[in-house]
A and B are shown apart, each in its own frame.
Chain A
Amino acid sequence: MELQWPLILFTTLTAWGCGVLGGAGALALKGAGKKSQQLLAIVSCVLLALGGIAVFFHLQHWERIFNGFGHITSGITQELIAIVVFVVIAVAYFVMARKSDDGGTLPKWMAWVAIAISVVLAAVCAHSYMMPARPAWDSVLEVLSIVGAACLLGPATCAVVLAAKGEDADACGLPAVAGSAIGAVCTAAYAAFIQMSAGAFSQVGYYFDPTHPTKAVADAAATAGAQAPLLWLGAVVVGAVVPLAVCVLARKKGDAASWKLFGGVAVVAALIGAVCLRVAFYNVGLSVFMFY
């Protein structure tokens, strides 16, 4: 199907926002990054807001957005609810950090709540796309790929913010390396699933659609195969292996300058990878009966 750029941006920015709040929560558990906690909560909300703006370019009747709360079992309604809950928790997180004596200490339960809602929102946003009609999308690995994107983007962003604020960015070292590793595994697993999805489409042999006489015959195997550069070079190598490698490198060096540089490289590479994965996702998003 056609690339849905507003949705590509929304999903990527939402994953990024979730990763940042989740990363902030991980730091709060260790009692680290106190000078950055308020900023990280704001950054997560800004990213989510940017994603929201992007998605409004997809909705044809955005003025009816509140109708979107009308069907509790639909994925989009659940997304909207999760977004509202996320914002409420992020605001509460910010307020609690601000009200603490040092401006950055949070109770452990709040840190866990922030991590939990980050995982839930990323998963719920991805889950909306799990549709039996689209074989390349209908996998829990698709959900994990978005959660993985959050793991890749969030802790690395937190490390850059900590380094920029003059804090001990190495406190974010383990979350960044672990997040990158989780993200790399999730991304590679979903890339492999997409490549193997070709056999799940209905086949009718030769066919002809008189309304599109010059259109090539739909070929799921060729479409899935054509995504290999985007998936393996873009999403896996650039989007997952590079962030993992530079986070490991930054953790070895351990100084703020390294985290500023390598953390920034990790974020940019992970963003490129996340977009590549979503582009491949839409390219191979054929319906099971792909001849109409």
Chain B
Amino acid sequence: MTHYAIATDLNRCVGCLACSVACKAMNNVPVGDYWNKTLRVGPNPKADGCGTWPDVEMYFLTVQCQHCKDPECVKVCPTGASHIADDGTVQIDKSKCIGCQFCAMSCPYGVRYLNTEERVVEKCTLCEQRIAQGELPACVAQCGGRARFFGDLDKGIDSFEAPWVVDVTEGDPSYDKTEHTRITLKECVQEYKQSDVHHLPDVGNDPSFVYILRDRDWQGEE
């Protein structure tokens, strides 16, 4: 069974916010709402440092719907509007939503928003309109640091993909070629250990998104 997710190499993320902007543009996210945010975590003292600058470290953390395996939002939704789709992503059937917003309350990450115009709750769809036709989510496609990779968790995160440089000297540099020229996470990023792989805090929802952070302390519980 498929379970799409995103893996982000936080050592590569430069905090350019391109993912956040791409998401807003691609999904027409209302002003004031953010389906995808980039937080700066730190600067915090290094574990074995003097406690002040320059012994500090920080990283950027991209946060959005984690498309959990056991999502709290789906458990509390009284209508079945919030559901797990066949591709393992968590989606909202807006035509069923009564706008009770309990899904937004039950989300451990606060990534759901009430669209006040449509009067339904919205969130990251993992760009289902794009992934359904084999494209990458906008946040992955536009990542300025090539830090984000998209793929099927069941195949392991090493198989996750990001866009790769299109060789325009060979053949036709078409949209299709641009979209399907990719590199895998294993080919692209520095080696990492299993202890470098992190998730956002899990309160029983089993978040699917993966964060790789080497040589720095992951802040917060998992």
Interface size on A, residues (CB 8 A): 42
Known: A209-B39, A289-B109. A132 touches B203 (CB 8 A): yes
Report yes or no: B78 in contact with A203, Cβ–Cβ below 8 A. no
Known: A133-B105, A288-B201, A289-B110. A74 touches B34 (CB 8 A): no
What mask results when residues 17 to 47 of chain B are scored 1 for a CB within 8 Å of chain A, else 0?
A: 1001000000000000010011111111000
Any B CB within 8 A of the CB of A283: no
Report yes or no: A292 in contact with B106, Cβ–Cβ below 8 A. no
Q: A71-B79, A132-B72, A202-B221 are in contact. List 9 more A-B contacts (CB 8 A).
A: A59-B98, A64-B96, A67-B81, A75-B78, A76-B100, A211-B37, A289-B63, A289-B109, A289-B200
Interface size on B, residues (CB 8 A): 46
Closest A residue to B218 by CB, please name it. Answer: A204
Give A288 to B110 CA distance when docked, in angstroms: 9
What mask results when residues 1 to 43 of chain A are scored 1 for a CB within 8 Å of chain B, else 0?
A: 1000000000000000000000000000000000000000000
Closest B residue to A131 by CB, please name it. Answer: B106
Report yes or no: A75 in contact with B102, Cβ–Cβ below 8 A. yes
Report yes or no: A77 in contact with B109, Cβ–Cβ below 8 A. no
Closest B residue to A75 by CB, please name it. Answer: B76
Any B CB within 8 A of the CB of A128: yes
B-side contacts of A207, CB under 8 Å? 39-42, 219
Q: Is the interface of B mostly helix, strand, loop or mixed?
A: loop
Report yes or no: A61 in contact with B119, Cβ–Cβ below 8 A. yes
Any A CB within 8 A of the CB of B162: no
A-B contact count (CB 8 A): 139
**Distance in Å: Cβ of B47 to nearest Cβ of chain A:** 12
B-side contacts of A109, CB under 8 Å? none
Give A95 to B220 CA distance when docked, in angstroms: 58
Any A CB within 8 A of the CB of B75: yes
Report yes or no: B43 in contact with A206, Cβ–Cβ below 8 A. yes
Query: Contact partner of A205 among B34, B41, B77, B80, CB < 8 A?
Result: B41
Query: Contact partner of B98 among A61, A204, A289, CB < 8 A?
Result: A61
**Distance in Å: Cβ of A2 to nearest Cβ of chain B:** 10
Any A CB within 8 A of the CB of B173: no
Report yes or no: A67 in contact with B201, Cβ–Cβ below 8 A. no
Closest B residue to A69 by CB, please name it. Answer: B78
B-side contacts of A133, CB under 8 Å? 72, 105-108, 203, 205
Per the 8 Å Cβ criterion, residues 173-218 of B in contact with A are: 200-201, 203-205
B-side contacts of A287, CB under 8 Å? 107-110
What mask results when residues 90 to 131 of chain B are scored 1 for a CB within 8 Å of chain A, else 0?
A: 000000111111100111111100100001100000000000
Closest A residue to B97 by CB, please name it. Answer: A61
**Distance in Å: Cβ of B100 to nearest Cβ of chain A:** 6
B-side contacts of A228, CB under 8 Å? none
Give A6 to B97 CA distance when docked, in angstroms: 18
Report yes or no: A77 in contact with B108, Cβ–Cβ below 8 A. no
**Distance in Å: Cβ of A232 to nearest Cβ of chain B:** 25
Closest A residue to B221 by CB, please name it. Answer: A202
Closest A residue to B111 by CB, please name it. Answer: A292
Any B CB within 8 A of the CB of A214: no
A-side contacts of B105, CB under 8 Å? 1, 129, 131, 133-134, 285
